Structure formats: C-alpha cells, structure tokens
C-alpha cells in the first residue's frame, strides 16, 4: 500500500522544518499575549533563529546531500549562507525593535511571524535544487515582504510602495516561471542537476533554451534589483518602513546570490557564454545608473537603494568572470569573490540602515540626508561608525568593502576582462562621491538640531559591533574569504 511512499531524508531540511513549526507556534502564542507583553514574541522569534543556527551546525555533514527526490540540496554553500542569513535576521530584528514598538500599527505579532516566514523562504531558495522549490521559496519570501512593506497602514508611501512591489514582483515571478517552463520544454526536467546533465549530453533545442534563459535572467535580474529591472528598488526602499527596508536591503541578497548560483552555475553552466554576455551588460548598466542616480538623491534611503543597485552590479561581475571561453579554471576564485562581496555588502547595508533606525524616533524617520547634518557634534562615536560604513561602501581600505571590491576586481582581471575592471573602477570613483557627501554632512556641516541621540543600549552596542566588524574584517578578511572559497569548493 505504501510502496510508492518513500519517507524522505528529513535531516538536511531540519532547520527549515523547525523554523516552519516555530513560526506557526509563535503565531498561535502571540494570540494569547497581550500587546504590552510583545517582548515574548520577539524573544521566541530570536530563539527560533538561534535554534535554526544550532540545528544547522548539528546537521551539517559538509557533503552535498540531496533529499525530497532531489528537490532540496544541503551543501556547504547553503550551510554558510544560511548561517549568515540567521545572523542577519537576528541583528535586523534587534535593530528594528524600538522602531517597531514606536509605531502602533507595526507592533503586532505578525511582524515577527512574517519575518520568520520570509526567512524560511530564503532558506528554501538557498537550498533549492528544483525550479519549483526555487519558486516556492521565492514566493514565500516575496509575499511576506509585500505584506511587511504595507504594514504601516497609515502611511500612503508605504501602501504605494507595497502595491508597486507586489505588481512588479508578480510580473518578475511570471517572467521567471515563463523562463523555467521554456527550459523545461527544452530539457524535459525541472531538476537543476538533471538539467545540467541533459545539457551536457547535448541534443537540446537551443532556440527554446536561449529564450528560456533570457526570461530566467530577466526574472533573476529583477529579484536582484539590477538595471534595467531596478525601478522598484528606490520606491520600495524609500516607501517601506525603515525596519522593513533594512530587511529587504540585507538578507534577500544572500538568497538571490544562491539562486543565481544554482540556476546559472549549477544548472546552465554549459550556456555560460550566453548568460555571461547578458550579465555583463546588466552589471555595467547597474554600476552606471546606480551610481549616477544615487548622486541626485536627497533621501538617504533612496540613495542607498541606488547604491544597492550598483553594488549588485559589481557583485555580478564576479559571477560573470567564472568561465572564460569554456575554461572553468577561474570559477572558484570568481564565484567565491562574488559570495564574499555579498556577505560584505549585507554587513555594510545592515549597519547603514541600522544607523537610520538609531536616529529615528516616534514620528521622525531620519531618512533624509540632511538629518545626518552635524552628526559628529551630536555623537562623535556614531558619526565615526557611519563614517566607517560609508568609506567601506566606497571601497576604501581599511574596511571590508575594500577587500570585497578587491577580490571581485582581482577575479575580473584574472579572467582577462581588463576593460571591465576599468569600467568598474571608474564607476566606483563616481560612487565615492555620494558616500563622501554623507561624511561631509556629518563632519563639515553644523547640526540642525543639537539633541543627543537616544536609543536602547542593545541597539547602541549592536551598531557599534557592526561598525567595528566592518573595520575588523577589513583588516582581517582572510577568514571569511577562505570560508567562501572552501564552501564553494565543496559545493560546486
């Protein structure tokens, strides 16, 4: 009776299952908790994430393990990305705590449950080995985020941003699905590793495949937020409540990196010549438009949104240079540089949005550039932290951003794309201008209001640690660099 029902190996997916169960449990528990006791929900959420990390450690074998009929994969790349993901979400929740409490309509249990579900979506994306798994993960993430963007119901901007995000996000999902269906049509399978084998075997209808690839790359580009599929980024970053912007601007980049790797590198590596050309165009456009448009912004969140576009463009450079004229010798170096870049970017992005949250008060968002005017007078310490974050984003040593850019550029030069490296460097220079402007506002201008900063002790400590980590890892980048390289070596 049960011969068709094979119990899958559940162990590789243990963190996902634990998180899903806890998310549902927390949803229930929250119903019994009074509004004033919301800390319980918060604490449970954090414990869940820490629990996930513990399970991840406990169940990791270091080998590539497939489960659920090869729909799900657990390898070192997934383990590493997920651990960074948990850490990011834990910190994001700490940063958002005061902000959320200060805003009536956001201080609900749903906020935490949705965060957990978004995290689950990202975890599924990271571990997906099947088009449907990717799609499920992606939709779980996106739907949670749509709801979270709209959570501040009284804000017109938030509602508008959520609407925009939803419509465009649905369109992107459509593109992705369409691309997937075409690749299915060409290869007859949805499983990523099987697709790679089919393509390697040859005899696949190339026209359909390339069409599929174009749609797939468009969908991915949308999710990464690179030009010309970037238009939602500034509006969503700007319109969303800052705590949600913080979430959107950090953790999903890790998941997006993972699906790019899974789809393009694990699945379609034989098509590298085709997607490479597309990605190069996307990345050059992103660096150009992201950096140029950021200069014109007066709102810090919008500026960071454009800077995110340029950073993702820069990251793509690492992925594009993995294969040079069919030679995969550069792969490990290039992909690990992109991975290091993403991790470094998440760390920096968290810190900068954290700074905005630190400065925000009830009824005051602190998201205009002018709100940072004279910060050095009000709080030299936090101005110093912001200074480090900005210089790190600009890629100036001794901060992690420098070595992130260094490793990507090194991969690009090693692959022989000197012109691409020069273009990247040129736009980094333009990018430096608007990061410098933030430093200028903080240090060279007089403050508008002199009141000292008020924020919780946990927030102050975490932001300080985050800022110092940017400096510390800029002096000792070796550990994370090697981790990335090792994880990819064991996963590719």
Partner 1 sequence: MSTYPLLSFAIWIPIVAGLAVLATGSDRNAPLARMLALFGAIVSFLVTIPLWTSFDVANGGMQFVELKSWIPRFNINYHLGVDGISMLFVLLNAFITIIVVAAGWEVIKQKVAQYNAAFLIMSGLMNGIFASVDGVLFYVFFEASLIPLYLIIGVWGGPNRVYAAFKFFLYTLFGSLLLLLSLMYLFIHSGGSFSILEWHKLPIELGPQIWLFLAFLIAFAVKVPMWPVHTWLPDAHVEAPTGGSIVLAAIALKLGAYGFLRFSLPIAPDASHELSGLVVALSLIAVVYIGFVALVQEDMKKLVAYSSIAHMGFVTLGFFMFSSMGIEGALVQMVSHGFVSGAMFFCIGVMYDRLHSRQIADYGGVVNTMPKFAALFMLFSMANAGLPATSGFVGEFMIILGAVKFNFWVAFAAATSLIIGAAYTLWMYKRVIFGDVANDHVAELTDINKREFAILGVLAICTLWMGLYPQPFTEVMHASVNDLLRHVAISKIQ
List of residues contacting partner 1 (CB under 8 A): 376, 380, 391, 396-398, 402-403, 406-407, 409-410, 413-414, 418, 421-422, 425-426, 428-429, 432-433, 436, 439-440, 443-444, 477-478, 481-482, 485
Between 328 and 413, name the residue whose CB sits nearer to partner 1: 413
**Taking the complex as a whole, how short is the minimal distance between the CB of residue 318 and partner 1, in angstroms?**
14
Measured in whole angstroms, the distance separating CA 110 from the mean position of its chain's CA atoms is 22
Extract the runs of DSSP E, i.e. beta strands, from 122-188.
none
Measured CA to CA in angstroms, residue 74 lies from 129, 137, 443 at distances of 9, 15, 47
Between 108 and 440, name the residue whose CB sits nearer to partner 1: 440
* Other Cβ atoms closer than 10 A to 309: 29
User: Regarding beta strands 72-74 and 65-67, do their DSSP bridges make them parallel or antiparallel, or are they unpaired?
Assistant: antiparallel
Q: Which residues pair with 191 in a beta bridge?
A: 130
Alpha helices in 188-271 (DSSP H): 192-201, 206-224, 232-239, 242-249, 251-260
At a CB cut-off of 8 Å and minimum separation 6, what does 340 contact? 403, 404, 407, 477, 480, 481, 484
**Taking the complex as a whole, how short is the minimal distance between the CB of residue 397 and partner 1, in angstroms?**
4
Whole-angstrom distance, CA of residue 398 vs CA of residue 105 = 41
**Taking the complex as a whole, how short is the minimal distance between the CB of residue 98 and partner 1, in angstroms?**
26
Between 47 and 422, name the residue whose CB sits nearer to partner 1: 422
Between 185 and 380, name the residue whose CB sits nearer to partner 1: 380
| HEC profile of 3-63 | CCCCCCCCHHHHHHHHHHHHHHHHHHHHHHCCHHHCHHHHHHHHHHHHHHHHHHHHHCCCC
**Taking the complex as a whole, how short is the minimal distance between the CB of residue 299 and partner 1, in angstroms?**
21
Between 364 and 444, name the residue whose CB sits nearer to partner 1: 444
Contact 150, 164 (CB under 8 A): no
- Count helices and strands (H / E) in the chain: 20, 2
Whole-angstrom distance, CA of residue 314 vs CA of residue 301 = 20
Between 90 and 442, name the residue whose CB sits nearer to partner 1: 442
> Which tokens hold the place of 321?
């240079």
**Taking the complex as a whole, how short is the minimal distance between the CB of residue 371 and partner 1, in angstroms?**
18
Between 57 and 433, name the residue whose CB sits nearer to partner 1: 433
Give φ, ψ of 4 to 5 degrees: -85, -5
**Taking the complex as a whole, how short is the minimal distance between the CB of residue 308 and partner 1, in angstroms?**
21
**Taking the complex as a whole, how short is the minimal distance between the CB of residue 225 and partner 1, in angstroms?**
25
Between 265 and 412, name the residue whose CB sits nearer to partner 1: 412
Measured CA to CA in angstroms, residue 69 lies from 105, 128, 379 at distances of 43, 12, 56
Contact 173, 139 (CB under 8 A): yes
Measured CA to CA in angstroms, residue 33 lies from 156, 281, 356, 483 at distances of 29, 52, 30, 41
Between 454 and 482, name the residue whose CB sits nearer to partner 1: 482
**Taking the complex as a whole, how short is the minimal distance between the CB of residue 156 and partner 1, in angstroms?**
35
Between 146 and 427, name the residue whose CB sits nearer to partner 1: 427
Using alpha carbons, select from 147, 141, 168, 169 the residue that is nearest to residue 159. 147
What is the DSSP code (8-state) at residue 72? E
Between 184 and 398, name the residue whose CB sits nearer to partner 1: 398
> Which tokens hold the place of 101?
């409490």
Can you tell me whether residue 456 is helix, strand or coil? coil
Between 106 and 390, name the residue whose CB sits nearer to partner 1: 390
**Taking the complex as a whole, how short is the minimal distance between the CB of residue 392 and partner 1, in angstroms?**
11
**Taking the complex as a whole, how short is the minimal distance between the CB of residue 252 and partner 1, in angstroms?**
27
**Taking the complex as a whole, how short is the minimal distance between the CB of residue 54 and partner 1, in angstroms?**
29
**Taking the complex as a whole, how short is the minimal distance between the CB of residue 466 and partner 1, in angstroms?**
19
Whole-angstrom distance, CA of residue 240 vs CA of residue 243 = 8
Contact 56, 431 (CB under 8 A): no
């Amino acid at each position: 009776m049960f011969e068709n029902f094979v119990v899958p190996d559940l162990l590789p997916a243990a963190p996902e299952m634990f998180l899903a169960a806890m998310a549902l449990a927390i949803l229930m528990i929250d119903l019994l908790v009074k509004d004033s006791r919301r800390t319980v929900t918060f604490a449970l959420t954090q414990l869940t994430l820490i629990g996930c990390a513990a399970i991840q450690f406990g169940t990791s074998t270091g080998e590539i393990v497939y489960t659920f009929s090869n729909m799900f994969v657990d390898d070192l790349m997934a383990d590493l990305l997920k651990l960074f993901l948990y850490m990011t979400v834990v910190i994001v929740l700490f940063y958002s705590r005061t902000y959320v409490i200060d805003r009536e309509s956001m201080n609900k249990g749903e906020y935490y449950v949705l965060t957990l579900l978004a995290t689950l979506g990202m975890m599924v994306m990271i571990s997906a080995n099947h088009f449907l798994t990717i799609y499920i993960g992606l939709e779980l993430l996106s739907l949670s985020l749509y709801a979270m963007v709209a959570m501040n119901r009284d804000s017109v901007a938030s509602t508008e941003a959520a609407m925009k995000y939803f419509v465009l996000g649905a369109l992107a999902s459509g593109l992705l699905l369409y691309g997937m269906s075409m690749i299915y049509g060409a290869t007859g399978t949805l499983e990523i590793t099987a697709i790679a084998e089919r393509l390697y075997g040859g005899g696949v209808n190339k026209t359909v495949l390339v069409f599929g690839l174009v749609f797939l790359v468009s969908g991915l580009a949308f999710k990464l937020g690179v030009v010309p599929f970037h238009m939602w980024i500034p509006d969503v970053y700007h319109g969303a409540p800052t705590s949600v912007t913080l979430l959107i601007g950090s953790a999903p980049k890790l998941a997006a990196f993972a699906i790019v790797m899974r789809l393009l590198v694990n699945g379609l590596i034989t098509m590298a010549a085709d997607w490479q050309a597309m990605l190069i165009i996307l990345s050059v456009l992103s660096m150009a438009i992201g950096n140029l448009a950021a200069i014109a912004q007066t709102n810090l969140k919008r500026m960071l949104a454009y800077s995110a576009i340029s950073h993702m463009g820069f990251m793509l450079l690492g992925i594009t240079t993995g294969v040079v004229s069919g030679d995969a010798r550069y792969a490990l170096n290039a992909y690990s540089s992109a991975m290091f870049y993403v991790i470094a970017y998440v760390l920096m992005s968290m810190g900068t949005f954290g700074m905005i949250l630190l400065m925000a008060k009830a009824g005051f968002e602190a998201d205009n550039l002018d709100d940072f005017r004279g910060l050095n007078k009000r709080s030299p310490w936090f101005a110093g932290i912001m200074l480090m974050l900005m210089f790190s984003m600009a890629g100036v040593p001794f901060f992690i951003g420098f070595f992130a850019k260094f490793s990507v550029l090194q991969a690009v030069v090693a692959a022989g794309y000197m012109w691409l490296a020069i273009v990247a460097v040129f736009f980094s220079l333009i990018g430096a201008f608007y990061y410098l402007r933030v430093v200028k506002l903080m240090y060279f201008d007089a403050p508008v209001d002199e009141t000292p900063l008020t924020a919780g002790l946990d927030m102050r400590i975490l932001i300080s640690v985050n800022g110092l980590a940017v400096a510390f890892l800029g002096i000792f980048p070796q550990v994370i660099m090697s981790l990335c390289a090792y994880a990819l070596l064991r996963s590719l």
